[in-house]
Amino acid sequence: MSILVCGGAGYIGSHTVKELIGNYEVVVLDNLSTGYPFLLEEGVTFVKGDLGDASVLDLVFTEHKIDAVFHFAANSLVGESVENPLMYYDNNVSSTVTLLKKMVEHGVGKFIFSSTAATYGIPDTDLITEETVTNPINPYGRSKLMVEQVLADVAHVHDFQYIVLRYFNAAGAHDSGQIGESHNPETHLIPIVLQHLLGKRDKISVFGTDYNTADGTCVRDYIHVTDLAIAHVLAYEGLVSGEVFNEVFNLGNGSGYSVKEIIEVCEKVSGRSATVEYVDRRHGDPAVLVASSGKINKSLGWKPRFQLEEIIKSAWRWHSK
Ligand code: UFG
């Protein structure tokens, strides 16, 4: 039995493959549009292809006895999704529908889906549970929520069980130093700060200092990528046992840190000081996004292992290489 990891050459996908390999046969399907060959784990079967390509999917499902699909392959930049919504609905929704059709056709009925805190939009609570109303404010968040809705409908009529994982702010790098975060262009706070501290950027721009938070900058919940990866393995085991299925889980640390606090911890970890400019708010940023992960803790026994300083230390090791 094999697990098909769509997007296994990307940031979170590659860290999840690391947790799977050794215990499971892994087939990675990735078109390398935002993933990298150097993130591909030794021992995986790699298929370069698009998940919207039905013929590639037929080939994968025919040649390999696939038991479950982990689906990371998506575009995930909020700003880009506003500029180019059709790309997001095409890649994130249409291609996923093609994947689901092929799964049903080939009798593959276990699915783990990468979703996002962006499904909540601007929540009216500081600690977000899965009961918090979803109200995405950009095409990226909407594309992920649409797929969540499709999954519920599919599971209703087919022999198909799924788990949705809504990630908060993924960060950090693998202990081995072999894989880590690598986006082009980079838009995420921690890699941008570390690249600046390494001399690769002139300064850091802090987007907005007038939010209703303790220091006026946005607060986020940063979660180590390996903690996310482990959650996928637990979710798969939950599906296999038949005990947990058709559920949505938040994945975060449960603690919020402001942009200013992140910069301070990055300075401490690197032993260097940053040049910061304060600029206007970035469009569409909620003031505070912090997850309650109580539900996945209760259902699957998942608990984050890494706290903020360790997350940033691991990212610093990776970016310094
Ligand atoms: N920020 C800056 N300067 C930068 C980059 C970011 O001040 O150069 C701020 C942002 O405004 C935000 C915080 O740092 O307040 C974190 O920003 P990131 O871009 O690192 O992460 P986001 O919270 O915007 O994005 C994350 C996920 C997305 C998801 C989104 C949901 O990466 O996939 O949460 O809101 F859609």
pLDDT attached to residue 155: 98
Residue whose pair of structure tokens reads 């992140």 in the numeric block: 262
Is there a cis peptide before residue 304, judged by omega within 30 degrees of 0?
A: no
**Which ligand 1 atom is the nearest neighbour of the CA of 168?**
34
pLDDT attached to residue 237: 97
Cα–Cα distance measured from residue 173 to residue 226, given in angstroms and rounded to the nearest whole number = 8
Residues 6+ apart with CB under 8 A from 280: 207, 208
Cα–Cα distance measured from residue 224 to residue 312, given in angstroms and rounded to the nearest whole number = 9
> Are the C-beta atoms of residues 53 and 102 closer than 8 Å to each other?
no
Judge whether 140 counts as a catalytic residue.
Answer: yes
Residue type, 195: Q
For 283, the token pair is 């469009």
pLDDT attached to residue 41: 87
> Are the C-beta atoms of residues 44 and 26 closer than 8 Å to each other?
yes
Helices (H) and strands (E) in the chain, counts: 11, 14
pLDDT attached to residue 182: 85
pLDDT attached to residue 183: 83
For 84, the token pair is 């180019």
Q: Which helix (H) or strand (E) is 179 found in, with range?
A: none
- The string of DSSP codes covering 7-28 is TTTSHHHHHHHHHHBTTBEEEE
Cα–Cα distance measured from residue 171 to residue 314, given in angstroms and rounded to the nearest whole number = 9
Residue whose pair of structure tokens reads 């599906």 in the numeric block: 239
Residue type, 92: N
Q: How are strands ordered across the β-sheet holding 288-289?
A: 257-258, 219-220, 288-289
pLDDT attached to residue 68: 98
CA distances from 164 to 86, 139, 175 (A): 23, 18, 26
> Are the C-beta atoms of residues 18 and 174 closer than 8 Å to each other?
yes
- The three-class DSSP label of residue 241 is helix
CA distances from 287 to 99, 142, 215 (A): 35, 19, 11
Ligand 1 site residues, Cβ closer than 6 angstroms: 76, 78, 116-118, 140, 169, 187-189, 192, 205-207, 218, 220, 259, 282, 285, 289
**Which ligand 1 atom is the nearest neighbour of the CA of 284?**
35
CA distances from 8 to 64, 81, 84, 224, 255 (A): 16, 22, 24, 17, 28
Q: What is the whole-number distance in angstroms between the Cα of residue 131 and the centre of ligand 1?
A: 23
pLDDT attached to residue 144: 98
Choose which residue among 116, 282, 283, 311 to substitute to test ligand 1 binding: the one with the highest number of ligand atoms within 8 A of its C-beta: 282
- The string of DSSP codes covering 71-100 is E--S---HHHHHH-HHHHIIIIIIHHHHHH
List the pLDDT tens digit at each of the 321 positions of the chain. 899 999 999 999 999 999 999 999 999 999 999 998 888 988 899 999 999 999 999 999 999 999 999 999 999 999 899 999 999 999 999 999 999 999 999 999 999 999 999 999 999 998 999 999 999 999 999 999 999 999 999 999 999 999 999 999 999 999 998 899 988 889 999 999 999 999 999 999 999 999 999 999 999 999 999 999 999 999 999 999 999 999 999 999 999 999 999 999 999 999 999 999 999 999 888 999 999 999 999 999 999 999 999 999 999 999 998
pTM of the complete model beyond 0.95: yes
Cα–Cα distance measured from residue 60 to residue 42, given in angstroms and rounded to the nearest whole number = 19
Q: What is the whole-number distance in angstroms between the Cα of residue 176 and the centre of ligand 1?
A: 26
